[in-house]
Amino acid sequence: MSEPDLPDPATEPNASTDVESVELDVFLEAIQRVYGYDFRNYARASLRRRLWRRVHGEGRHSLTGLLEAVLHDPQAMERLRVDLSVTVTSMFRDPQFFRALRELVVPHLATYPFVRIWVAGCASGEEVYSLAILLREEGLADRVRIYATDVSEQVLEQAREGRMPLDKMKAYSSNYLEGGGREGLSRYYTVDGRWARMDPTLRDGVMFARHNLATDGTFNEFHLVLCRNVMIYFDRTLQHRVHELFDVSLVDLGILALGARESLVGSPLESHFDVIDAESRLYRKVAG
């Protein structure tokens, strides 16, 4: 997992100069054309910080220097790709969000005979296992299919394994209870050395697959789309693209769950949704 996206004073350049901004454009265009990685519409400030960290990490002095390294050395590109991906996650992250899901969204989902859920940007799966536990406790597990996607095959591999560091389970347990958990989290995993192995039956009805929100289209109709802590790394243009993607992917009255750090405020699609919970950013798509 990468570090949280904090400013790093040791590697932070003072300001974006015109030349540097041209170098940045060329850099992003080049890696998109050569490797197919499209970071052109990611939020610039955080992208620059991470790129400059790699500039120093590769012993270079400029973005052009870094570009030379990554174009001629796929391993340098791989190191960069890992550094550009923020994959930090946790189980029952923001417990209030899970409480709101239980109280406000589950009763709505329960009205459908069969429920399709898309978890976009699922990272190593902690959010998906949390959701699967919640749905089991609410009696919906048997009629739900969860499509959990991420751009990174590496994190999806971890997600499929369903293995969490044991030393994190104490914090996850208290998140679980705060989020309205009905049992005890330990009921859902077995201990294997330093690892907690999630009950494999939680993966019944879950499909993990690669999907790039920047370039790929919709692939089904969903009753709930959950996407948290992903679009904060995108610029407005890409955020709008993703909002549109979610809009066309939801059934009428389907729920969009963005979590506390993202919202539809200012989006051209804001009027397509009613707010169900302002704090957890739960929206219902308006019919018609």
| Closest of 88, 202, 86, 209 to residue 148, by C-alpha | 209
Q: Which of 88, 140, 141, 166 binds ligand SAM (CB under 6 A)?
A: 88
Judged by beta carbon, residue 36 or residue 288, the one nearer ligand SAM is: 36
Q: Which of 60, 93, 203, 223 binds ligand SAM (CB under 6 A)?
A: 93
Minimum distance from CB of 177 to ligand SAM (Å)? 18
Instruction: Give CA angle at 98 (268, 2), nearest 5°.
Output: 75
**Tokens of residue 84, six digits:** 């550009």
Minimum distance from CB of 199 to ligand SAM (Å)? 20
Q: Which residues contact 256 (CB under 8 A, 6 or more apart)?
A: 224, 225, 227, 246, 250, 264, 273, 282, 283, 284, 285
SS3 state at 165: strand
Q: Which of 16, 190, 201, 212 binds ligand SAM (CB under 6 A)?
A: 212
Minimum distance from CB of 186 to ligand SAM (Å)? 21
Residue 134 corresponds to which amino acid?
Answer: L
Q: Which of 43, 214, 251, 253 binds ligand SAM (CB under 6 A)?
A: 214
Residue 234 half-sphere exposure toward CB, CA atoms < 13 A: 22
Cα(171)–Cα(92) distance, rounded to whole angstroms? 10
- What residues between 108 and 167 interact with ligand SAM by CB under 6 A? 121-123, 127, 150-152, 155
- What residues between 58 and 87 interact with ligand SAM by CB under 6 A? 85-87
Minimum distance from CB of 262 to ligand SAM (Å)? 10
Minimum distance from CB of 86 to ligand SAM (Å)? 5
Minimum distance from CB of 84 to ligand SAM (Å)? 9
- Residue 94: DSSP 8-state: S
- Residue 220: DSSP 8-state: S
Contact segment (CB under 6 A) with ligand SAM among 103-111, 191-199, 210-218, 272-280 equals 210-218
CB 226 within 8 A of CB 100: no
Q: Which of 47, 230, 250, 255 binds ligand SAM (CB under 6 A)?
A: 230
Minimum distance from CB of 49 to ligand SAM (Å)? 15
Q: Which residues contact 107 (CB under 8 A, 6 or more apart)?
A: none
- What residues between 28 and 47 interact with ligand SAM by CB under 6 A? none
Count of residues touching ligand SAM (by CB under 6 A): 20
CB 139 within 8 A of CB 169: no
**Tokens of residue 4, six digits:** 């949280």
Judged by beta carbon, residue 110 or residue 248, the one nearer ligand SAM is: 248
Phi-psi sector, 199: left (phi>0), alpha (psi -120 to 50), beta = beta
**Tokens of residue 188, six digits:** 């859902």
Judged by beta carbon, residue 60 or residue 189, the one nearer ligand SAM is: 189
Minimum distance from CB of 113 to ligand SAM (Å)? 28
Count other Cβ atoms within 10 Å, centred on residue 65. 13
Q: Which of 131, 185, 198, 213 binds ligand SAM (CB under 6 A)?
A: 213
Judged by beta carbon, residue 182 or residue 261, the one nearer ligand SAM is: 261
The residues that touch ligand SAM, with contacts defined as CB under 6 A, are: 85-89, 93, 121-123, 127, 150-152, 155, 212-214, 228-230
